[in-house]
Amino acid sequence: MKPIGIFYGSTTGKTEEIAKKIKNQFSDTQIDIYNVRFAIVNDLEKYDNIILGTSTWGKAELQEDFKKFLPILQKADLRGKKIAIFGVGDSAKYPVSFADSIGIIFDVLDGKGAIFVGEFSVKGYQFQSSLSIFGENFAGLPIDEDSECELNKERIAMWTDLLKQCLN
């Protein structure tokens, strides 16, 4: 598999931890992790495989650093690149906007020629609504470190197994 760039935004460090756990699932592949606070367009364009991840901070609100990173994402030439998205949230405290970040990022990039991979089933998640559902699935992997952390090991393993089949 070609190298993967993981780009994350994180306020309290939870998304950063998940990014590292995702990286650890790919023992045979080069994976570089970037905090979006310091990432530039060239960093994104280096990779044919990109994983984007951040948390939700209020209904339809992205984590602060990732919000500032959106213009960089929009400027990058992402045509033909495979993109997978994960979102970190809290389904118990914020059930009406659970992991909205996945859907927000998806909407920003939709139509720019990237190929989205890593849809994930809603089965097993407890929430009322989310901007991240497209059709019957989440457009990426929702992770709940606050209320369902015991489920995350398995969810990350399932998602990364899926990515291994469809990344470049």
Ligand X SMILES: Cc1cc2nc3c(=O)[nH]c(=O)nc-3n(C[C@H](O)[C@H](O)[C@H](O)COP(=O)(O)O)c2cc1C
Give contact residues for ligand X (rule: CB under 6 A): 10-15, 55-59, 63, 88-90, 94, 97-100, 145-146
CB of 93 to ligand X, least distance (A): 7
Position with the least CB separation from ligand X: 89
Tally the C-alpha atoms within 13 A of residue 105's C-alpha that lie toward its C-beta. Answer: 35
CB of 91 to ligand X, least distance (A): 6
Residue 56, beta-bridge partner list: 62
Nearest CB to ligand X, comparing residues 49 and 152: 152
CB of 55 to ligand X, least distance (A): 3
Nearest CB to ligand X, comparing residues 49 and 63: 63
Nearest CB to ligand X, comparing residues 36 and 167: 36
Nearest CB to ligand X, comparing residues 43 and 145: 145
Query: Three-class SS string for the chain?
Result: CCCEEEEEECCCCHHHHHHHHHHHCCCCCCEEEEEHHHCCHHHHHCCCEEEEEEEECCCCCECHHHHHHHHHHHHCCCCCCEEEEEEEECCCCCCCCCCHHHHHHHHHHCCCCCEECCCEECCCCCCCCCCCEECCEECCEEEECCCCHHHHHHHHHHHHHHHHHHCC
CB of 72 to ligand X, least distance (A): 18
CB of 123 to ligand X, least distance (A): 18
Nearest CB to ligand X, comparing residues 5 and 142: 142
